[in-house]
Amino acid sequence: MSDSMNVNQILTQIRSLRDQTSIARPEANPNSLGAINVNPTEKVDFGSMLKQSIDAVNETQKSAGAMSAAFERGDENVSLTQVMVNLQKSEVSFKAMVEVRNKFVDAYQEVMRMSM
């Protein structure tokens, strides 16, 4: 009984994720060979997406710094646990951003090494 409940819960989660990502159900068309139809999405400007990502990392660092300063001032609404978690989030997001930058640089260098 619990196995069927777990399966039903997983199926419900999968359906929910599918609906959130706008992936349509496969058509009953025998020629489609089980292909999944994906709704067209809006075009995203790469530069603005990159800027938003960098701004989000910056905001995370500012928030962690402000929380750390508040804790140092003795603010009773800020716990050491909150400060440490926010500092770790800030560090992880910054490291991820640096890794993405490194991948971009590597890709650029690879393209520049290609013979024309």
Domain limits of the chain?
A: 2-32, 46-113
Report which secondary-structure segment, H or E, holds 26.
none
Q: What span, in angstroms and rounded, lies between the C-alpha atoms of 23 and 84?
A: 39
Nearest to 22 by CA among 44, 2, 8, 42: 42
Length of the chain: 116
Grade residue 20 by pLDDT with cuts at 50, 70 and 90. Answer: low
Distance separating the N- and C-terminal Cα atoms of the chain: 63
Share of the chain above pLDDT 70, in %: 69
Q: What is the pLDDT of residues 43-75, one digit of tens each?
A: 778 888 888 989 999 999 999 999 999 999 999
Q: CB pairs under 8 A, 24+ apart, for 35-38? A: none
CA distance 101 to 107: 10
